[in-house]
Amino acid sequence: MKFSLATSLLSLATLVLGASRTTAPSGALVVGSGQKYSTISKAVSALSSTTTNEQIIYIQPGTYKEQVYIPALKGPLTIYGSTKDTTTYSSNQVIITSGFGLDTKSTDDLTATLRVWTTNFKLYNVNVKNTRGQGSQALALSASASNQGYYACQFLGFQDTVLAQQGTQLYAKSYIEGATDFVFGQHAQAWFEQVHFGVLAASQGYVTASGRVSNDNGYYVINKGTIAAAAGNTVPAGAYYLGRPWGAFARVVFQSTSMSNVINAKGWSVWQASDTRTGNVIFEEYGNTGAGASGTRATFSKKIASPVAIGTVLGSAYASAKYVDASYM
> What amino acid positions are annotated as catalytic residues?
160, 181
Which of 65, 9, 8 is CA-nearest to residue 41? Answer: 65
Residues linked to residue 98 through DSSP beta bridges, in sequence order = 130
Which of 267, 272, 276, 277 is CA-nearest to residue 212? Answer: 277
Question: What is the largest distance, in Å, between two alpha-carbon atoms of the chain?
Answer: 71
Which sign does the torsion angle of CA 171, 144, 141, 78 carry?
positive
Q: What are phi and psi of 29, to 5 degrees?
A: -80, 125
